[in-house]
Every structure is written in structure tokens, then in C-alpha cells.
Amino acid sequence: MFELTHPWVFVLLPLPWLVRILTPAFRQRDDALRLPFFAALTERTGAVVRDGATVVSHKRRALLVGAVIWALGLLALAEPVRLGPPQEITKATRDVILAIDISGSMDAVDFPGADGAPQQRLAAVQDVVAEFLEKRQGDRVSLIVFGSRAYVQAPLTEDLDTVEALLGQTQVGMAGPHTALGDAIGLAIHSFEASEIEERLLILLSDGNDTASRMSPVNAAEIASDKGVTMFAIGVGDPEGTGEERLDMDALSDLAQRTGGEGFFAADSAALEAIYNEIDAQTPRDQDTLSWRPREPLGHYALMGAVALGMVLMLAFWVRGMRRPVR
């Protein structure tokens, strides 16, 4: 499909014809010598007597070529383009950060799986989160893992396959044995600040108390709220546990509610999957689709054709002048 960027240029198409009929013919005066014996001179020399005024005539072929050159020049000014097939680009409208607890307590094999058999807590989380990522097409997702310290395992990206692969390679204890909830929230806030996307979602998953943070989880949640971050906190530990392994679900829910989110307790794999489905329902996927068509400019071809015809016409005039006999 072809399109003219400036089609109005063709209003100039009849301009040469208007100039030809509305402007007077070109006149040129030459010096002359008056002779009283002009008739006798021409008779003796045999010269042919012509009229004093000569009107230059143009051949139709030259006029036709000139018209084509003018039309090609206007076509080049109109900037013709060839339109390619429509292309669509999907732009993410939300950033999602998954903060996964990989402290030593996540190695406990007490989390009921889909078949009811106990499995490692982190393995169950990895399976469910992988399914959750498959539904996040159109979002930018980052993965943060935390234990005694918090680390960015995968920065914000639309390459969800890479995030899933990195999550699958994560092992318990890689970030230390303790739990630093506040630091994980603080690192997520820092990651969000590098993005211009306004909608920001943090999903925090932990199975224990905060025991190693340098930043208070409450202060971190307040800062997250000020930065427009909505947090959902998911507890997968044992509320009846003791010490560091005890899950304080009330504290997790309080942190989430401070940001306008919600806290959930996952008793088994089915409940964990239901929680992620609930989060997905509360924050449905949204994205911007930009459509455009590639444009290939063609004006230079018209300009090249006009130049080539002009050179041919000039060459024809030169050859014609060379063949004209000299009198």
C-alpha cells in the first residue's frame, strides 16, 4: 500500500501551463546595422531574407518530457511512502516484584502438596509461582530473594521465562539463614524507583518473623505506601512454631494493609494457588498496545527519474544543436 505524505503538493501541477498562457513571450533586442543598399547586397550575396522577429517553437515531445519531469518533481515533494503490514507492540503498564523468603526455615518438609503429601516449602512455592508467572504476560516482573540479606535475583523485565528459570535455580540458604523482611521491602522500593510505570505491586512471601532487617518492616511498609506500592503478604510457615520459625501472620497482614494490600495465610499448595488467583483477580492484567506500520520512503526514486529525464532532454538539445548546419 502506498501513501502520499503531502498530497496537496499536486495543486501546483498546472503551474507551468498557467505561466505559459498568462505571461508574455520572451523578447530579446539585438543590435542591427541599417544599410541603404540592403536589397542590392542580398541580391549579390544570395542571402535569404527573414522576418526581424523570430518566435521560438517547441516540439511536442520536449513539452511532454518537460511535463513528466515537473510531475516527477512534485511527486518527490509529496513524499510517497510504502506502508508495511501493521505491527503491534505491547507495553507493560504495571511492575510486579516477587519477594521470596529463602531463609533456612524454608527447607522444612511440612507443606502439604497438591496430593496431600508433605513437600519442601520452597519447592511448593516455586511450583505455584511458576504458574502465576504464566498469567502475568504484559507485566514487568522482578524477583527478589531474601534471607539474612535481600538480593535482586532478576531485575524488572518482560522476559518471564528468565524470571521463572532463575526462580527454579534458587535454593534455600543462598541469602543466609535468617529472615530480613524489612530489607526485602526496602530493596523492592529501590527497584521500583528506577521505573517510570506508576502501578506497582509487591508480593511478599515469608514463613517466619523478621529477625535480621536493618530497616524496620513497619517503616519500610510506610515508605512503600508513600511511593505508591501496593503489597500483598503471603504467609506459608507455622503460626504455632517457636522462635525464628514462628509465622506472625498478624504482622504480615498489618504490613500489607498499610500499603492498601492484604495478607493471606497459605496452609497448603491448593490454598497458595487460590491466593495467587485471588491476587490476580484483584489486580487484573492490563497493558497498552501500540500499533504502527513501517514506512519506506520512495520520493528519491521520483527525484532520480526527474533528473535522468532532464539529462536526456539536455543531451537531445545538444545533439540537435551540433547537427544544425552553420550558415
Q: What is the DSSP string of 192-252?
A: HHT---SEEEEEEEESS---S-SS-HHHHHHHHHHTTEEEEEEE-SBTT--GGGB--HHHH
Alpha carbon 41 to its chain centroid, in Å, reads 86
Say what the pLDDT of residue 192 is.
92
Say what the pLDDT of residue 221 is.
93
pTM higher than 0.75 for the full model? no
Domains of the chain in sequence order: 2-28+56-85+293-323 (no CATH), 89-289 (3.40.50.410)
Tell me: pLDDT of 326 over 80.
Answer: no
pLDDT digits (tens, 9 = 90+) for 97-156: 999 999 888 888 888 877 778 888 898 888 888 888 887 777 889 999 999 999 999 999
Quick one: what percent of the chain has pLDDT higher than 70? 86
> Shortest CA distance to 151 belongs to which of 180, 169, 186, 175?
175
Most trustworthy range by pLDDT among 37-51, 81-95, 104-118: 104-118
Please list, residue by residue across 134-169, b when 16 or more beta carbons sit within 10 angstroms of its beta carbon and e when fewer do.
Answer: eebebbbbbbbbbbbbbbebbebebebeebbeebee
